[in-house]
Amino acid sequence: MDRFEIINSLKQDTYSPSLFFDQMYEKSKDFKLMQSILNEVKKYDIFDFIARVSALNLVPENQNKSILLDALIESLLSLKRTECNCSNKISNGKFRRIISQIETMDLKLGLDPAENAFIENVMFYDNYFIFTGINYLPGYSLQMMIRTLFLQSNSFDLNFLKTASNLIRLVLTISNIAATHLGYKLENLNRLEHSKIIIPDGEKLKGMVELTLVDNDYIRYLVQDDSIMEELYSEFGQGNLEAALNADHQNFFNKPFIKTEDGRSIVLNISILSSFVFHKIIRLAEKYGCREELINAYNISVWKDCRRSMNMLGHEKIQEKNWGIDLLDQSNYKEVLLNVCNNQIMVVTYITDDGKGYSSDLMFSLYPTGDLDGLLDKRMQYFHEKLSLQRINNEDIFHVIIINSFGRSLQVGMNSISYNKPLSLNPFDLKCIAINERSNSIFLPRYIKATSKLSDSGLNLFSELNSIEVYVNNQYSFYLNDDFNPKNAMLYIAGGDSIDYIIRAFKKENRHLVKSYDDKYFVEVVLNDEKRNIFTDAATKVPRASLLAKFTNVCFWILSPEIDEFENVNIYFSIVDCIAYWLAECKEIIERRNFTFDTIKVYIELTGNSTDYYIGEETVVAWAEEVSFTTKDNNVTLTWTPEAYRALNYRDNSIERQMMQSIIDVLTKFTIEGNIEIKQLDSIFKNPMKKKFFSLDYMENPYLKPLIDRDVRKIKPEDENELLDDIGSAILASGKWSYGIVKDEDRSTIANYVVGYLYKLLQEQVKVLQSINLVELVCLDLEKVMYNLMLTQKRYAYDVACYPEKQEKMFEDFNELNKSSRALKFLAEYIAACPPKGTQILGEWKYERLLAICSLIIDWAYKNDLFYYKIFNTPVEILKSDRVGMKQDEFNKLLSINSKEREVQLNYNSSYNFREKLPRMEFPNIIEDLNISFLDEYGFSFEDFGNCIFGILSYGNEISDDVKKANKSELTSWLVESADLNIEKIEKILLYISLNRRDNFLKPEKPFRAEDVYPWRFNRELSFTRRPVIVREDEVIWGNRQLFHMFKYTVDLIYEGQLKTRGKKLATLIGKISNKRGDDFNDEVYKKIKVFPDFIVDRNLKKINHKYIADEKGNTLGDIDVLYILPDRKRVVIVEVKDFNYSKSPYEMDCEYQKMFVDKDDKKSFATKHKRRTAWIKEHLEDVKIHYGLAGNGWTVKSAFIVSESIISNAFYNAGETIITFSEITKDKLQRV
């Protein structure tokens, strides 16, 4: 059973798990068995036997078996030395049999899953691995003690500090030697569970035994104090057998060594050493008269660390004095109030062991908590009363209780019932949460809310991290399966999962000590890039860019000076990141050489004005001529010019290769060999898209203007899961449906019901809000989304080339961005049409819930369309978990097809500079024709439209905020002066691009249709994409990125023939543009195939060998767009070319499917028409051979479609047509048709 403290909540009896087990444990049977084992062991070398038992603690699978092994060792130590005089070595088989007997003891019932990682890294002027066993936070507690004693100012006696240092170094050195010898590493940590004690084979066990033996002289050398050294040793004849059968404490924990007769000592249990030295230091402090001071300093250090963890999670201290609140600050009890959201508060209570009644004899015991009884209840009542005066409701108060101990159980109870269950954590739990959930805002309050909705499962005897791991792994919910609703039935979470959570935190951070770039210090670093072994300084308070690239033979610090100008931040970070990346990519080159220094520092310095570095033009220079290198000792300084920096903005990575070759040339001075082979650079830089540097020309593309804060608000799965629970409950409560399969004809009905339920929820939650800053908040988030989407579309192919291991995550993030964008745009459209008039301040949590509601409305309406257009035939079921369920086969198939195609598009579009472009052929007199058509359609010309948009962009550029606001009259007057437009046209254009208030969101006024407000449909006239300006009374609000995107999007709609029109002139023009675009696309396909050698290619064929391509009645079958022949394969391929748009919605997919594959009356589908032309070619194969001069027999005819965008319905409906997109055209692809 793990040794840990426990907090009792909500009227549960308080007890210690170990004490509870001891009360239930009947020892008589085990006593007899252990006595029998001792009698047997007396026949053998007792030291050899103890060393073998101790060595079993070095096996990861035995981590939680310490109770059994410790009981055996303590029992052996109860023997008198005179009883153990035999020198015979026990055989491996006999040893195994004795260990198997131990496993039959009832004491085994006290075993719980280990809740510590098997090894941890402790930093003390170097890095040391320790074995944690089942002790209470051994690594964390020791690290914090080291910080208290040696890394912060104090007035402790120097002799005390020296002795403590020696003892710490002793246990760390012994532990690290064993872990290192056995090859244990943090990156290889895994959860290992085994019901039995694992005994290695003879030779391996023999090697492990040696690791438990330490030369006495070596111990004396490290401790440097004979009296202290003697206190380390246990002796035979101590204790008694009954006391040894203990689940909690053994006497040898205080003295974890025993001397052998050959000048060495056995470490009785290596996993107890860290807890031992902590306990020993407290006892030593008592000797020096500073125990109370030490414990208080230690507790304050831990409290500060907890506050740092809370800060990492986004919770900062509020000014409670302004609310008349007084906080307690006692030696064993501290408090702080932290922010959650605008109207929510977190109360953090810190309860700690202040050393009262501390026993020198017991490392693991009970803390006397009498003076804490009732204090929690009293304080929470006080906080609720005070916070209620600030209009903070009970449901918006979250209570986190941090229990800090160093081995003694702290039993604290609460009797009051709060709206939200209090959450009990230890400091290390909190630290792991801060590491793993740092990017997940409001994690703790969300988790508390989720646990508060669970049916009470009683007292949790294990780490809270077990429950958190289950919650995180189930998409941040406790929804475990379709047959179980955790809110209605008891959910009991056993121990074991916490290990996975802890290991994930260790691997994610990989915090350790290295030599600093300042030679006088060591510095803690944390992981930046796992694959490339790049780290960043964890503790620097100086604004500088610094990265550490680690290799097996050398480390490189790449760093800037202290950055004192904001404009230089991106420049320095870009350079440092680029050099660190390429050094890591040159790993094999670097590790083949021997360096004269362990650490080499590469300093970056800039010359010239920072503005000169941001000029976006592409320049070609000899990079090395624009940078100067100086070296001194182990320092290299690169002095950059603006020209050197701008040169890296080249279309491929050739300049970056020049940079690395120059840097490696300089590094040769630091090698013993005097040279570094760089031939491998050719393969490293082989892919020209593997390129770190890029420029953002936001003068040309305003949506690429950098943001100071580019963090995007994502749709939280926690919110979605909660809403899905609510949806299921509402459906059952409606009485219209019950558990089981829903009738097929009701599938659309239930989907519509869900959409209606969510829409009503949206209405209710929006109308109570204050309107102040709501539009601005949504617009700001939309600006962030647009920037990140455009950046991804520009960089995706390059980033995948640089970081192929992150491709899946990058694409997942891109999809999340699109999901957020859809929800934000829907919310913007809704609040523009129906602005709220309430009084509630919108908090972050409620805001994210609103976005989740919007997202689920889109999702369920999309599902409804899938049913409506008969794309899906998936059964719908009301599950026993009270949710609406659907089998995922069809969803997964469509998702897989869509994801594959979207990724192909993303990769294709972002590799613009490295592919043959599909040009837009200019339509003759297009601007003049657009002007006439726009004037007829809208009352303003296309040039008026463009001038107005770019005028507003210019006006917005003068406003520093990303969200632009202007008085409508003032903006109009400015545009009259600056854009050469009259007021009437400006007002028409503003009306055309803006969202305005209306009485009923779902019923727009004519000429608009209901579909124009459906956020799951594309190309809507009342969408935020088409109307990114929001009118609020006499104020207009917009973002330049979204406004510019609207203009480009409108132009794309015109070019792609998708701009909806009502007037004849614009409709006719768009039709002409579409036809021209189709003809141009046919030409481009023909040209692309024509270049392939050994291909015979023809196009626009009406007849072959003087015969028209027609049916038996003489009716034309239509032209053959492209025909190509593969003479060497005797194959003729008939190609139908279609310039299709990608189907984004079920409606578009249905239209696509109907056009492509479904014949209606006399109207044939594209596939049928193409088959008929292909059949004609087969029937007239001899005419084809004559026409093209083909000889021989055995010719075959194949067919294919070549399209501009993928045809989703072909794959989903298994239509079986060969369809090739323009981007996929290759010689090999066409030969395989």
Q: pLDDT tens for residues 305-356?
A: 999 999 999 999 999 999 999 999 999 999 999 999 878 999 999 999 998 8
Mean pLDDT in residue range 606-634: 85
- pLDDT category, 719, cuts 50, 70, 90? very high
Kindly report, residue by residue over 469-518, the tens digit of the pLDDT.
999 999 999 998 888 888 887 888 888 899 999 999 999 999 999 999 98
Least trusted range by pLDDT, from 265-269, 744-748, 1186-1190: 744-748
- The DSSP bridge pattern shows strands 876-878 and 740-741 to be antiparallel
User: Is there a contact between 984 and 995 (Cβ–Cβ < 8 Å)?
Assistant: no
Whole-angstrom distance, CA of residue 502 vs CA of residue 416:
32
Question: Residue 89: pLDDT above 60?
Answer: yes
Encoded amino acid at 385, one letter = E
- pLDDT category, 7, cuts 50, 70, 90? very low
pLDDT of residue 9: 37
Question: Residue 101: pLDDT above 60?
Answer: yes
pLDDT of residue 459: 60
pLDDT of residue 226: 92
pLDDT of residue 24: 66
Question: Residue 1034: pLDDT above 90?
Answer: yes
- pLDDT category, 888, cuts 50, 70, 90? confident
Contacts of 329-338 spanning 24+ positions with Cβ under 8 A: 331/296, 331/299, 332/299, 332/356, 332/371, 332/372, 333/372, 333/375, 334/303, 335/379, 336/307, 337/383, 338/310
209 or 1208: which carries more pLDDT confidence?
209
pLDDT of residue 327: 97
Kindly report, residue by residue over 109-122, the tens digit of the pLDDT.
888 888 899 999 99
Whole-angstrom distance, CA of residue 1070 vs CA of residue 753:
39
Rg (CA), the chain: 37
Whole-angstrom distance, CA of residue 1086 vs CA of residue 1084:
5
Helix 216-223 vs helix 158-181: crossing angle, to nearest 10: 140
- Burial of 917-942, coded b for 16+ CB within 10 Å and e otherwise, reads eeeeeebeebeebbbbbbbebbebbb
Question: Residue 541: pLDDT above 80?
Answer: no
Q: Which two tokens stand for residue 5?
A: 């403290």
pLDDT of residue 14: 35
**What is the average pLDDT value for the chain, to the nearest integer?**
91
pLDDT of residue 736: 93
- pLDDT category, 916, cuts 50, 70, 90? low
The upper half-sphere exposure of residue 1164, i.e. CA atoms within 13 Å in the direction of its Cβ, equals 10
Mean pLDDT in residue range 543-559: 96
pLDDT of residue 618: 65
Residue 483 burial (CB count, 10 A):
8
pLDDT of residue 13: 33
- pLDDT category, 466, cuts 50, 70, 90? very high
Kindly report, residue by residue over 783-819, the tens digit of the pLDDT.
999 999 999 998 999 999 999 999 999 999 999 999 9
User: Is there a contact between 110 and 70 (Cβ–Cβ < 8 Å)?
Assistant: no
- pLDDT category, 23, cuts 50, 70, 90? low
pLDDT of residue 742: 92
pLDDT of residue 3: 34
pLDDT of residue 457: 59
pLDDT of residue 20: 52
- Burial of 714-743, coded b for 16+ CB within 10 Å and e otherwise, reads bbbbbbbbbbbbebbebbbeeeebeeeebe
pLDDT of residue 22: 59
Using a 10 angstrom Cβ sphere, with 0-12 exposed, 13-18 middle and 19 or more buried, the burial of residue 346 is buried
Structural domain spans, the chain: 16-287, 291-452, 512-695, 717-914, 926-1066, 1092-1231
User: Is there a contact between 933 and 1066 (Cβ–Cβ < 8 Å)?
Assistant: yes
Question: Residue 699: pLDDT above 90?
Answer: no
Question: Residue 10: pLDDT above 90?
Answer: no
Q: Which residues contact 520 (CB under 8 A, 6 or more apart)?
A: none
Provide the 8-state DSSP code for 921.
Answer: P
Whole-angstrom distance, CA of residue 1 vs CA of residue 67:
7
pLDDT of residue 906: 79
Kindly report, residue by residue over 979-1007, the tens digit of the pLDDT.
889 999 999 999 999 999 998 999 999 99
Mean pLDDT in residue range 564-569: 83
604 or 415: which carries more pLDDT confidence?
604
pTM higher than 0.85: yes
Question: Residue 918: pLDDT above 60?
Answer: no
Question: Residue 616: pLDDT above 90?
Answer: no
Whole-angstrom distance, CA of residue 956 vs CA of residue 787:
16
- pLDDT category, 364, cuts 50, 70, 90? confident
Least trusted range by pLDDT, from 309-318, 329-338, 849-858, 1048-1057: 1048-1057
Least trusted range by pLDDT, from 579-593, 649-663, 893-907: 893-907
Q: By C-alpha distance, which of 863, 798, 791, 852 is closest to 826?
A: 852
pLDDT of residue 21: 58
Kindly report, residue by residue over 50-70, the tens digit of the pLDDT.
999 999 999 999 999 999 999
- pLDDT category, 1142, cuts 50, 70, 90? confident
Question: Residue 949: pLDDT above 70?
Answer: yes
pLDDT of residue 868: 87
